[in-house]
Amino acid sequence: MRHRARTDAGQAFPIYVVMVAGLLFLAFVFFAVGKAAALRNEAQGAADAAALAAAQQTREQLGPLFFASLPMKMLDPFLRAHPVAGCPAAYGMASANAAHVTSCEPFSGGLRDRIKVQVKGNDPVDSPVVPDTEDTFPETEATAVIEFRCPDWESADFNDDGVQDMYYFSCRGGEMLQIAPSKPPLWSKVSKILYDVHLVDN
Q: Is residue 184 part of a domain?
A: no
pLDDT of residue 10: 54
Residue 182 to residues 12, 66, 76, 151, Cα–Cα distance (Å):
91, 13, 18, 22
Q: Is residue 114 part of a domain?
A: yes
Identify the residue with better confidence: 66 or 19. 66
- Out of 63-67, 73-77, 111-115, least confident range: 111-115
Q: Is residue 170 part of a domain?
A: no
Task: Name the band, by pLDDT with cuts 50, 70 and 90, for residue 85.
Answer: confident
Q: Which residues of 57-84 are buried (b: 16+ CB within 10 A; e: fewer)?
A: bbbebbbeebbebbbeeebeeeeeebeb
Q: How far apart are CA 122 and CA 129, in angstroms?
A: 21
pLDDT of residue 11: 60
- Number of Cβ within a 10 Å radius of residue 50: 32
Task: Name the region of 185 (left: φ>0; alpha: ψ -120 to 50; beta: rest).
Answer: beta
Residue 40 to residues 34, 60, 104, 199, Cα–Cα distance (Å):
10, 30, 19, 18
Per-residue pLDDT tens for 120-153? 998 876 655 555 666 778 899 999 999 999 989 9
DSSP H helices, 62-198, are 63-68, 75-81, 87-96, 187-194
Q: Is residue 143 part of a domain?
A: yes
Beta-carbon contacts of residue 35 (< 8 Å; ≥ 6 apart): 125, 127
pLDDT of residue 128: 56
Q: Is residue 85 part of a domain?
A: yes
Q: Is residue 46 part of a domain?
A: yes
Domain carrying residue 125: 2-147
- pTM recorded for the entire structure: 0.78
HSE at residue 15, side-chain half, CA atoms within 13 A, is 5
The stretch 11-24 carries a mean pLDDT of 59
Task: Name the band, by pLDDT with cuts 50, 70 and 90, for residue 86.
Answer: confident
Number of domains in the chain: 1
Short-list 58, 53, 55, 59, CA closest to 190? 59
Q: Is residue 52 part of a domain?
A: yes
- Number of Cβ within a 10 Å radius of residue 164: 21
Per-residue pLDDT tens for 58-69? 999 999 999 999
Q: Is residue 152 part of a domain?
A: no
